[in-house]
Structure 1
Amino acid sequence: MSGSARALEVPRQAWCYGLPGLPLALVALPLYVHLPHHYAGLGASLASLGAILLLARVFDAATDPLLGRWIDRLFSRGSPTVLWHARWLGLALMVSVAALWFPPRGVAFGPWALLCLVPVTLAYSALVIAHQSWGARLGGDGAQQSRIVAWREGWALAGVLLAAVLPGVLGWPVTLAAWATAMALAGWAWARGPHPNPAATPTVATTTLWRPWRQASFRRLLAIFVASGLASAMPATLVLFFIDDRLQTPHWQAAYLGSYFLAAAAGLPAWLALARRIGLAQAWLTGMVLAVVVFVWAATLQAGQTHAFVLICLLSGLALGADLALPAALLAGVIADAGDRSQHEGAYFGWWNVAAKANLALAAGVALPALQALGYSPGTRNPEGLLALTLAYAVLPCVLKLVAATLLWRWIVSHPGMLTSASIARGSGAADAHGTCPPPVYGGGSAPAVADDHPPVPRRSL
């Protein structure tokens, strides 16, 4: 077992690495869900606000590959350099989020929001990619990498739950103060968690932006990730409409969403155990099949079937755990196979995050206009409109998930030679692509930093 993997088996080291997942998830949900309503309440025009948010999100996705290349260059100078920059990125994020949420009196809200969203998206995405790349550079086989990702995503789920509760209970000033405190604690913890070994971080003169696309294994894994992610993003876009108009139980929203994310967090250890037993790809395929079997049931629900939908949320939340812990661990194996470990992780995760954000944009851009064209409008009780909503919410995502499962079976599970890394082919007891990983360096007096990766909630809803 690699030294880095041994570090993550020590609980304190594991939570130190994973803790930054909480504050970044805590801020991501308000940015994507609450911000439009917040600015509309301040008097901003919905039309101008929509255009500004679209522009900001396009900018966000387009800059991820460039940020990934920059992060790789920081890693080439050693992990303390990454932490030093992450500290200032975290500070920039805190200042820009505060300015975004509390605009000065008399300011033009639209231009102010755009002015603040630029540093918010740049700082957030840079921290996401840095934290993801850091975890991949810790090395280990498939089971060990899935454990690393699970700690990161487990804390992120805790952040999502806090983001769903705190604003309504404590208000925005207290929520943002709690978030800033969590950011500082997460920076302290990250600096004292396991570090990539300096010897495993060679100097990289240049990082080619398009380098990941030269690898057939990356292109195939990304195609599976996109199909699976789109299957999750479509119901996420429509879930509140489904609850309000199909189930007609809007007062149960908190129970539905809470049970979904709690089940996802509770199920993470089970997916790790399954991955150790049968392998990452096989475990992810199992999660996809479970998601389809459970979620197709939602297409049969009628108004008032509250308890049935709670059960669907629990079981599909359990399936979500596989989507959280396993794909990024598979990507780490692809990076190792390509000989790019400890050199180009940022480039890979930059494109990975572009795909995740594109799924959200595509889901909203396709699902909502299509529903309107098919006769659905919010608040309708028209049978044709409700049928269109049900098909878009429950049936089409299952079809997309089956496409992802088929690709995963054909390209990876039934042909493990396509992705040869032990981290993909087997669940445990395998060395990484470079043999055993050198032991990590443990942070002591390093400068604290703040980071994480949690894609906004809408990405994960099947």
Structure 2
Amino acid sequence: MKNGILAQLAYGGLALPLAVLALPVYLYVPKYYVDHFALSLSTIGFLLLAIRLLDALFDPWIGYYLNQSGPISTAHRLRRTIQWATPLLCLGLTGVFLPLLIPAWFTPHFSHQPTLTWIWLTLGLVLAYGGYSLASIAHQAWGAWLGNNAAERLRWVSAREGLGLLGVIIAAIVPTIAGLSTLVWLFNLSLGIALWALLYYCPAPQLGSVNLMASPAQTAPPPTRNLVGYGQALFAPLRQASFRWLIGVYIVNGIAASIPATLFLFYVQDALGLAEYAGPLLMLYFLLGALGLPVWVKLADRYGQTPMWGLGMGLSVVAFLWAAFLPHSGWELPGYILVCALTGCVLGADLAMPATLLANWIRQQNDASALEPANSPQAGTQAIGLWHCVTKLNLAIAAGLALPMLEWAGYVSQAPGSAPLAAGSDGLQALIWAYAGLPCLLKLAAWGLLLRSPLAQFESIVRPDVLSERKSP
């Protein structure tokens, strides 16, 4: 298998347009539709919660579909699924931001029709989330088959996460310089280029000596299952205690990260009065995340992925405790620059470490399946489907609970250009607690779970066929 930098870029390139899509959808959509179409925070929050929950429920089925016919057919399904996802992604993001692309048509029909706006936004988000699920699960599953050991898999994962961070940086910079409409067209262009590179220049995923790009005609038909059998297959990874530990830590840590991501624009404008600096602050955060990713890879090589993940959690707690004391302090801008710098520096740990541990777990399960097929069913793509499911549940909980709870606690989003919320007001206190206090508690809980977990055992997994080659004279 080719492991050169060009091959890694060809694999990781699809993460760039996927990240370009993800940032506007979860960051700009709530604020944009609240400000321009008079939709309430509760309406946006519950809409995002419902769509993300529905989307998350399909992720295990996508993973099951990708894996149902055995390892030889899986690679063909990966390619085909990514190709199917492409038009959904283009239509979804374009539809969500159509008011910016052709305002002369959209505004007269929707500006005074909240119901039509709600229906249009729902359709656009369903297409965007559906395409994103198909492409991202297939893409991550592809990467789980690359690399002969944990160190190599860390590099494939880091290539994907690094290019994903580059996509996020682009998504943060372009709206500030050229507007969201330019970002939409840039997304469509980058998606086409990334798809071409992945399909023609990325190495074929392999399991041991079996090439996963081999003809699917060699594969036995999938077993017949009733409804109970389907449920057992979908959630098979959860029968493994090691996977429950991994996904449990990931859920708690993911919710802690999703809440401030959802509330970023609200906090910057209404708590700090720094709305004009939102774009540069985002750029700083993601730029330092991209620059810090290789450092985390080196540290993980030396000290292990689990300890470095825990270190990132601890540093995030320090940053958000600092953020809680910034409103009306007199040094909001320099203080929040430090917050963005520190959280950006530790972003690489949250991106690379859990994804690599998951890839290692998948390889361990599939190696066991190859050695003892009767006792160790393949669970790779099902695990990735569940992983994406809980990722979206994290975002759903953040948007669906944090936004309505803020509104119920007395917080009202201020109009663009307004002064920050008054010191000591109920709205400001609720916003500070939601943005900084709650994530600190959740990060500490995730750190505690990580310290008790057995996840370090997935940091030195090598394929049996590679071991046999190394032992051969």
Aligned to 2:161: 153
1:321 aligns with 2:348: yes
Say if 1:262 and 1:80 are closer, same or farther in 2 by CA, change over 3 A.
Answer: same
Aligned to 1:361: 396
Aligned partner letter, 2:424: P
Aligned to 1:456: none
Q: 1:300 aligns with which of 325, 342, 363?
A: 325
What do residues 145-172 of structure 1 show as CA deviations (whole Å, max 9, x unaligned)?
2221111111111111222232343345
Q: Distance in 2 between matches of 1:392 and 1:115?
A: 29
Say if 1:300 and 1:120 are closer, same or farther in 2 by CA, change over 3 A.
Answer: closer
Unpaired runs of at least 5, structure 1: 440-462
1:86 aligns with 2:95: no
1:398 aligns with 2:440: yes
Identity among equivalent pairs (%): 35
In the superposition, the TM-score normalised over structure 2's length comes to 0.80
Q: 2:222 aligns with which of 197, 202, 205?
A: 205
Q: Distance in 2 between matches of 1:373 and 1:55?
A: 19
Say whether the 8 Å CA contact 1:260–1:317 is kept in structure 2: yes
Unpaired runs of at least 5, structure 2: 100-104, 111-115, 213-218, 224-229, 371-377, 414-419
Describe how 1:403-414 pairs up with structure 2 within 5 A: 403-412=445-454
Secondary structure of the structure 2 residue equivalent to 1:318: helix
**Larger Rg over CA atoms:** 2
Instruction: Please identify, of 72-81 and 401-410, the stretch whose mean Cα deviation from structure 2 is larger.
Output: 72-81
Instruction: Please identify, of 350-359 and 291-300, the stretch whose mean Cα deviation from structure 2 is larger.
Output: 291-300
1:348 aligns with 2:375: no
Q: Distance in 2 between matches of 1:333 and 1:366?
A: 33
Say if 1:90 and 1:227 are closer, same or farther in 2 by CA, change over 3 A.
Answer: same
Q: Distance in 2 between matches of 1:254 and 1:119?
A: 27
| Higher-RCO chain (CA-CA 8 Å, sequence separation at least 6) | 1
1:55 aligns with 2:23: no
Aligned to 1:337: 364
Say whether the 8 Å CA contact 2:292–2:345 is kept in structure 1: yes
Aligned partner letter, 2:62: L
Secondary structure of the structure 1 residue equivalent to 2:453: helix
Say if 1:437 and 1:79 are closer, same or farther in 2 by CA, change over 3 A.
Answer: farther
Query: CA shift at 1:344, angstroms?
Result: 3.1
What do residues 62-85 of structure 1 show as CA deviations (whole Å, max 9, x unaligned)?
111111111224764152442234
Say whether the 8 Å CA contact 1:243–1:249 is kept in structure 2: yes
Aligned partner letter, 2:56: A
1:275 aligns with 2:300: yes
Say if 1:42 and 1:289 are closer, same or farther in 2 by CA, change over 3 A.
Answer: closer
Aligned partner letter, 1:293: V
Query: CA shift at 1:311, angstroms?
Result: 1.6
Aligned partner letter, 2:13: L
Q: Distance in 2 between matches of 1:60 and 1:215?
A: 24
Aligned to 1:450: none
Aligned to 1:237: 262
Query: CA shift at 1:326, angstroms?
Result: 0.7
Describe how 1:68-79 pairs up with structure 2 within 5 A: 68-73=63-68, 76-79=72-75
Instruction: Please identify, of 129-138 and 94-103, the stretch whose mean Cα deviation from structure 2 is larger.
Output: 94-103
Query: CA shift at 1:24, angstroms?
Result: 1.0
Q: 2:205 aligns with which of 178, 186, 196?
A: 196
Say whether the 8 Å CA contact 2:259–2:398 is kept in structure 1: yes
Q: Distance in 2 between matches of 1:372 and 1:300?
A: 22
Query: CA shift at 1:263, angstroms?
Result: 0.8
Say whether the 8 Å CA contact 2:49–2:397 is kept in structure 1: no
Secondary structure of the structure 2 residue equivalent to 1:128: helix
Say if 1:30 and 1:295 are closer, same or farther in 2 by CA, change over 3 A.
Answer: closer
Q: Distance in 1 between matches of 2:400 and 2:31?
A: 19
Instruction: Please identify, of 43-52 and 201-210, the stretch whose mean Cα deviation from structure 2 is larger.
Output: 43-52
Secondary structure of the structure 2 residue equivalent to 1:338: helix
Say if 1:45 and 1:347 are closer, same or farther in 2 by CA, change over 3 A.
Answer: same
Aligned partner letter, 1:84: R
Secondary structure of the structure 1 residue equivalent to 2:256: helix
Aligned partner letter, 1:436: V
Q: How many residues align?
A: 421
Aligned partner letter, 1:98: T
Q: Distance in 1 between matches of 2:264 and 2:94?
A: 29
Q: Distance in 1 between matches of 2:134 and 2:337?
A: 36
1:309 aligns with 2:336: yes
Say whether the 8 Å CA contact 1:139–1:437 is kept in structure 2: no
Describe how 1:82-121 pairs up with structure 2 within 5 A: 82-102=78-98, 108-121=116-129
1:167 aligns with 2:175: yes
Q: 1:15 aligns with which of 9, 18, 21?
A: 9
Q: Distance in 1 between matches of 2:265 and 2:182?
A: 26
Instruction: Please identify, of 51-60 and 12-21, the stretch whose mean Cα deviation from structure 2 is larger.
Output: 51-60
Q: Distance in 1 between matches of 2:411 and 2:47?
A: 26
In the superposition, the TM-score normalised over structure 1's length comes to 0.81
Secondary structure of the structure 2 residue equivalent to 1:383: coil
Secondary structure of the structure 2 residue equivalent to 1:431: coil
Instruction: Please identify, of 298-307 and 329-338, the stretch whose mean Cα deviation from structure 2 is larger.
Output: 298-307
Q: Distance in 1 between matches of 2:468 and 2:173?
A: 42
Q: Distance in 2 between matches of 1:372 and 1:95?
A: 32
Instruction: Please identify, of 379-388 and 180-189, the stretch whose mean Cα deviation from structure 2 is larger.
Output: 379-388
Query: CA shift at 1:282, angstroms?
Result: 1.5
Instruction: Please identify, of 223-232 and 51-60, the stretch whose mean Cα deviation from structure 2 is larger.
Output: 51-60
1:431 aligns with 2:440: no
Say whether the 8 Å CA contact 1:242–1:393 is kept in structure 2: yes
Aligned partner letter, 1:63: F
